[in-house]
Amino acid sequence: MKRTKKIFRTPNDLAEYFAKELSEKINRAAKKIKPINVALSGGNTPGILFSVLAEKHSLSTDWRYAHFFWVDERCVPPDDPESNYGMIRRLLIERIDIPEQNIHRMRGEDDPVTEAERYSGEIMQNVEVKNSIPSFDVIILGIGDDGHTASIFPGNEILLESNKVCETAIHPSSLQKRITLTGKVINNSKEIFFLVTGIKKSPVIEQIFSKDSNSAMFPASFIKSINGKTIWLLDEGAARSIN
């Protein structure tokens, strides 16, 4: 399916645009009295999105139908500064009126293998399943300078093909343990949004958007929604070489 891109002048412009989109998607789902399942990524890039959502869309969004899941988690407790759940809790969840049962976090403090299995079950129980694979309504991804996405790192592309919902992984340089959604689950989402900002990301973006064979080394280049949309939201820094 099609891969499209939108380029924004600044990371803030990108966050403002996407926060509004997301709020509208949630409100449309609420009107239909239908849950909307959104999988969130951590890292630094989406922080600004969560802040804008909390600051500008807290009251205008009907959060009762929004269900948040995690794309990946670092295996640390929620109060650790590295926790993706902890970051999103502080920037967004604590500042909006969302029922606690709508927050489906990966438990980074638990044994990763056991937690990957438990979390797969939680997803299967709550998210629509299409062709035996869960299908999130919206999935938000970032990309590392090395081309990783979620916690699927170069050299561990086997996670793109795994038939499990979640797997464990290890960050190649810090050796931090991770839990991650697998590639097939990500590609089964109805809408996939990559959020990419900053000039440091421009070399990897150039590789992925040119048909360069090197991009095969980048797990993110294999991410494309099978039946839905894949949209790359970039700022001018990240898009410098493809503008």
Return residues touching ligand 6PG (CB under 6 A): 41-45, 71-72, 74, 84, 142-144, 148-150
Nearer to ligand 6PG, 72 or 115 (CB): 72
CB 145 within 8 A of CB 201: yes
Which H helix or E strand runs over 146? none
The CB-of-46 to ligand 6PG minimum distance in angstroms stands at 7
Nearer to ligand 6PG, 75 or 98 (CB): 75
Cβ nearer to ligand 6PG, comparing 42 with 86: 42
Q: How far is the CB of 63 from ligand 6PG (least distance, A)?
A: 22
Please, what is the minimum distance in Å from the beta carbon of residue 68 to ligand 6PG?
14
Rounded to whole angstroms, what are the CA distances from 202 to 74, 189, 199, 242?
25, 26, 5, 8
Residue 32 DSSP one-character state = T
Q: Write down the least CB distance from residue 129 to ligand 6PG, Å.
A: 24
Contacts of 212 (CB under 8 A, 6+ apart): none
Pick 36 or 71: Cβ nearer ligand 6PG: 71
Exposure class string for 126-147: b at 16+ Cβ within 10 A, else e: ebeeeeebbbbbbbbbbbbeeb
Q: How far is the CB of 182 from ligand 6PG (least distance, A)?
A: 13
Which residue's CB is nearer to ligand 6PG, number 61 or number 83? 83
Residues 6+ apart with CB under 8 A from 159: 152, 167, 169, 180, 182, 183, 219
CB of 197 to ligand 6PG, least distance (A): 8
Could you give the C-alpha distances from 186 to 10, 30, 51, 76, in angstroms and in order?
Answer: 27, 24, 24, 23
Nearest distance in Å: CB 141, ligand 6PG: 6
For the four alpha carbons of 60, 64, 66 and 68, in that order, the dihedral sign comes to positive
> For ligand 6PG, which is the closer residue by CB, 149 or 221?
149
204: tokens are 């990897």
Q: Which is nearer to ligand 6PG, 42 or 134 (CB)?
A: 42
Cα 99 from Cα 239, distance rounded (Å): 37
